[in-house]
Amino acid sequence: MNSTLKIFTMLLGATLLLNVTMNYLGDNVEDFGNQALPPKRHKSFKTNNPVLKVNAQSKENWTLVDFSSQATFEISDPEKDRKLMAQRDWDLGFQRTKIISNGGVTNPQGKVAIANLGPVDFNSVIKVPEATFEPDTRSWGNVNNPSIIDWYLYRTRTHNIESKRNVYIVKTGDGMLKLRILNYYCQREESECKSSMCSRDEAACLTVEYFHIPPGEQTFPVSKPTVPQQTAQVTP
């Protein structure tokens, strides 16, 4: 048998073996896929402070929130709706994972600026601290606020969003705001989404823990007994 025939025979054998292996895997991949790993145990996160649920599911519109009244309204484009934004009271705007503020390049007439205190204990922040407050800026053609742009972690394995739970102090047009984003999912605990995939239909309902104080005050209220969750009220 010449060398060419030997090589051809070896390649043919290897091809047959590969086909048999792939057929076996194809027939059994469903069985393998159904052998789920036991879920990791994650504690649910609870708070006794006021929380607001913000619906930011739209990919076309922005939900703008006034935390002093819990009212919201929607706009389609911050660049085109500047006049409307200047006429209404609002602090922060949400669209999926994106957050803008009522100040800087988003609305030059707005007074909102944000300081990031990092992952500190929410209840330990009693007084308005000395911090660097930043308005919205434009970076690489996109408008965002550098203090809050990276509020979340993206989990590559499950493709889900996990809040860093940083505490933010927000200068508003009518006082000061202390807030922390607790969850990104509508009806699911964030702890569930760490070990399993939560669909996009369940995403972008941000649960925000917050305290708002009026102008002139420098001290935030202390934690109180459990407060029922509120849902932001949409205004026409």
- Exposure string for 61-92, b = 16+ CB within 10 A, e = fewer: bbbbbbbbebbbbbbeebeebeeebeeebbbb
Rounded Cα distance, 87 and 55, in Å:
22
State the pTM of this model: 0.76
Q: How many CB atoms lie within 10 A of CB 4?
A: 8
Rounded Cα distance, 150 and 98, in Å:
9
pLDDT per residue as tens, the chain (236 positions)? 566 666 667 766 666 666 655 554 444 433 333 334 344 444 456 788 999 999 999 999 999 999 999 999 999 999 899 899 999 999 999 999 999 999 999 999 999 999 999 999 999 999 999 999 999 999 888 999 999 999 999 988 878 899 999 999 999 999 999 999 999 999 888 777 777 777 778 899 999 999 999 999 999 998 765 554 566 655 65
**CA-to-CA separations, 156 to 193, 196, 197, in angstroms, rounded:** 12, 12, 10
Q: How many CB atoms lie within 10 A of CB 224?
A: 9
185: closest CA among 172, 198, 169, 176? 198
**CA-to-CA separations, 45 to 48, 50, 182, 191, in angstroms, rounded:** 11, 14, 8, 8
